[in-house]
Amino acid sequence: MLSIIGYVMLLSMIYLLLKGKSSPIVLFISLPILAGLLGGFSPVEIGEFAAAGLEKTTSNAVLFIFSITYFGIMNDAGMFDILIDKLVKKAGNSVVAITVVTAIIGIIGHLDGATATTVLVTIPAMLPLYKKLNIRPQVLLLIVAAAMGVMNLLPWGGPTARTAVVLGIEANELWKVLIPIQIVGVFTTVGLAVILGSIEKKRGAGFDSSKLSNENNLATAELAATMTADELSLKRPKLSWFNILLTGCVIGVLVADIMPAYIVFMAALSIAIIVNYPNKKDQESRIKAHAPAALLISATMLASGVFVGVLGESGMLDAMAKTLLSLIPSFLAPFIHLIMGVVALPIGMFLGTDAYFYGLLPLVIEVAQTYGITAMNVALTMILGKNVALLISPLVPATFLATGLADVELKDHIKFCFGWLFAISLIMLAFGIVFRIVSI
């Protein structure tokens, strides 16, 4: 009975999330409570289940509040504007250099883990050059998608934080395991940019070097033109190097694991906002500007604790796993984590992030543990492909923002990017196995 209730709850959640019928926060709270009541549990027991789940999500929710606000303020201050401008100018009239610079800007731009921000920083800056060079805009979107997919493995990235919640560990702890694979992903993204640039050059992309000086300044002019007077007033170009150094220190402390990640961002946010916006009114304005995004994501993560707690503590997940286990051919079951790693990208495209990590992942973990496969092993295989699918998923709003800015049809974008991104996900999975981060 618990198994049936669990699957009905899971399928209902997936359906409602895909159809956009309700907020994830509402679904993560209401559906588990209803399922618990149908399963015969008392309100007191359901409250205990939910409390146990919330213990797993609280620290990561706090991390999101302060990390999103920190990187939002860094973006307001124009932390990487100087670097991006210099990179674009140095690329000159080289098609390959332009595609490589796109990859670097995408990687740098996604340090904040915000998909919309990365799209707005990268595409308006590079699209004018792509048009003048006669490089297909699909190439720009593909490189940005790869960069975002790789960088979203950071501890403040949504998938990593959600996976950490399911595993019941700190997001920073999971990220430290993923770092070698992420480094491979960064080099793979740059390599992809070189390959795509070479392909575009063979197709005839490029322009007359006599126009070089004008084209070098075009991207910066186009990007500035998209900014309002208020946005320009927030820029702090003289503090760019301080902000870059501060962010480097933040990442260094996170890698060293000296203190909890959310404490690191609390301290960094305080320093950043005092230095960049010493006026109290400006400080409050910047915090209020980024509060909606920070609080919405953090509230969703806290609400997911109710779902995770009821699903696990009630025995519902165990019952669901036993049902699924009876349906899987015995010769395939010991390799379920690898199978899920291979198909993670196509599944991730059509299954929303919350449904994938809070619904599918716990179920696969429970089944895999029957065959001695650790929860961490399953999580590592399933997060890689899903991350890379980020900007080709119709369920991600930034996908429509990106295709709109580049004036590319969604179907053409997916058709062009799918194979390349699928290859990147498989490469990262393969290196995970080679590095023995993922066990066969």
Sign of CA dihedral 284, 285, 290, 291: positive
Query: Rounded CA gap, 273 and 284, in Å?
Result: 10
Name residue, tokens 């930034």. Answer: 398
Query: Rounded CA gap, 309 and 104, in Å?
Result: 40
- In this model, does residue 198 exceed pLDDT 90? yes
- Across all residues in the chain, what is the average pLDDT? 83
Q: Could you tell me where the beta strands, DSSP code E, fall in 16-70?
A: none
List CB contacts of 359: < 8 A, sequence separation 6 or more.
Answer: 10, 13, 14
Query: Rounded CA gap, 135 and 260, in Å?
Result: 44
Residue 35: predicted pLDDT: 92
- In this model, does residue 403 exceed pLDDT 90? no
Q: Are 141 and 406 in contact (CB under 8 A)?
A: yes
Residue 350: predicted pLDDT: 67
Across 40-49, 201-210, 338-347, least confident range? 201-210
Residue 213: predicted pLDDT: 46
Query: Rounded CA gap, 47 and 91, in Å?
Result: 58
Residue-wise pLDDT for 117-154, tens only, equals 677 678 877 887 888 788 899 999 999 999 999 998 88
- In this model, does residue 220 exceed pLDDT 80? no
Name residue, tokens 């960049």. Answer: 276
Query: Rounded CA gap, 374 and 381, in Å?
Result: 11
User: What's the maximum distance between 2 C-alpha atoms anywhere in the chain?
Assistant: 77
Across 41-45, 167-171, 181-185, least confident range? 167-171
pLDDT tier, 209 (very low <50, low <70, confident <90, very high otherwise): very low
Please give the C-alpha separations between residue 384 and each of 153, 158, 261, in angstroms, as whole numbers: 8, 13, 22
The 3 state secondary structure assigned to 301-356 is HHHHHHHHHHHHHCCHHHHHHHHHHHHCCCCCHHHHHHHHHHHHHHHHHHCCHHHH
List CB contacts of 294: < 8 A, sequence separation 6 or more.
Answer: 64, 65, 66, 68, 69, 72
List CB contacts of 260: < 8 A, sequence separation 6 or more.
Answer: 59, 170, 172
Residue 59: closest CA among 259, 258, 262, 256: 262
The mean pLDDT of 329-342, rounded to a whole number, is: 85
Query: Rounded CA gap, 337 and 70, in Å?
Result: 35
List CB contacts of 134: < 8 A, sequence separation 6 or more.
Answer: 204, 205, 206, 207
CA neighbours closer than 13 Å in the CB half-sphere of residue 105 = 33
DSSP per position, 387-436? HHTGGG-TT-HHHHHHHHHHT--HHHHHHHHHHHHHHHHHHHHHHHHHTT
The mean pLDDT of 292-301, rounded to a whole number, is: 80
Residue 208: predicted pLDDT: 45
Residue-wise pLDDT for 11-66, tens only, equals 888 788 767 778 888 988 999 999 999 999 999 999 999 998 888 778 878 887 88
Of 54-68, 179-193, 318-332, highest mean pLDDT: 179-193
| Helix, coil or strand: residue 41 | coil
Residue 171: predicted pLDDT: 87
| Helix, coil or strand: residue 113 | coil
Q: Are 97 and 297 in contact (CB under 8 A)?
A: no
Phi and psi, residue 261, nearest 5°: -60, -40
Residue 395: predicted pLDDT: 65
Q: Are 425 and 388 in contact (CB under 8 A)?
A: yes
Q: At what angle do helices 115-133 and 397-406 cross, to 10 degrees?
A: 20
Residue 41: predicted pLDDT: 92
- In this model, does residue 192 exceed pLDDT 90? yes
CA end-to-end span of the chain: 34
Angle at 284 between CA 278 and CA 288, to 5 degrees: 140
Residue 262: predicted pLDDT: 86
Of 162-171, 217-226, 310-319, highest mean pLDDT: 162-171
CA neighbours closer than 13 Å in the CB half-sphere of residue 353 = 26
Residue 159: predicted pLDDT: 86
Residue 226: predicted pLDDT: 52
